[in-house]
Amino acid sequence: MRRNAIAIKKFPWISLALLLATYGIIGWQLSALESHWILWILAAVATVLLAVAVSSPWSKVRDGFASCFKSDSKAFLVAVAIAFFSVVIITWLHIFVHILVVLSASMLVRLDVQATRWSSRQSFWLIAIASLVSLALGAFVHIGVEPHLTVISYQLSDIS
């Protein structure tokens, strides 16, 4: 019994709550924009890809980046690509802020899970499932709450 209590205490509750909140807000915003279903599929794929990237061992990520700089031509192409993406990020900063918040929350969950000595596979499943469920939950909450918000705003406009 004591072992389970220790495991529950070590579970990353706060960082997971942050991850759930960030994806819930994104789901709410996508629902509010009445996004096309293709955008929802892209969001789900990006969520899984981010979970894969965050939960992969850092040595593999480091080796992948190191291979980009083995020759001068590859290094030049990487530098041009980084410059291009930097301009795109600065131009659409309002969009990339959301991506940075999601990335930060995912990395925080990964660090907390890593501190509890979970495997990469376990952290991937935790991050992926929590993110996808929260994305969908944010959309469902928006769908359920929006009619009530419309009624409240309509009633407030009658008062003034």
**Contact between 139 and 27 (Cβ < 8 Å):** yes
**Span 31-37, mean pLDDT?**
83
Average of per-residue pLDDT values in the chain = 82
Amino acid 13: pLDDT: 87
Q: Tell me phi and psi for residue 34, to 5 degrees.
A: 50, 55
Q: Say whether pLDDT at 49 is over 70.
A: yes
Q: Say whether pLDDT at 53 is over 70.
A: yes
Counting beta carbons within 10 angstroms of the beta carbon of residue 69, is it exposed (0 to 12), middle (13 to 18) or buried (19 or more)?
Answer: exposed
Amino acid 157: pLDDT: 59
Whole-model pTM? 0.71
Paired tokens of 129 = 């499932």
Q: Which residues contact 14 (CB under 8 A, 6 or more apart)?
A: none
Percent of the chain residues topping a pLDDT of 70: 80
Q: Which of 2-6, 8-12, 109-113, 118-122 is predicted with the least confidence, judged by mean pLDDT?
A: 2-6
**Span 83-107, mean pLDDT?**
88
Give the distance from CA 18 to its chain's centroid. 10
**Span 34-58, mean pLDDT?**
87
Amino acid 76: pLDDT: 85
DSSP state letter for 119: -
Nearest to 8 by CA among 16, 22, 102: 16
At 59-91, the pLDDT tens digits run: 666 676 677 667 777 778 888 888 998 888 888
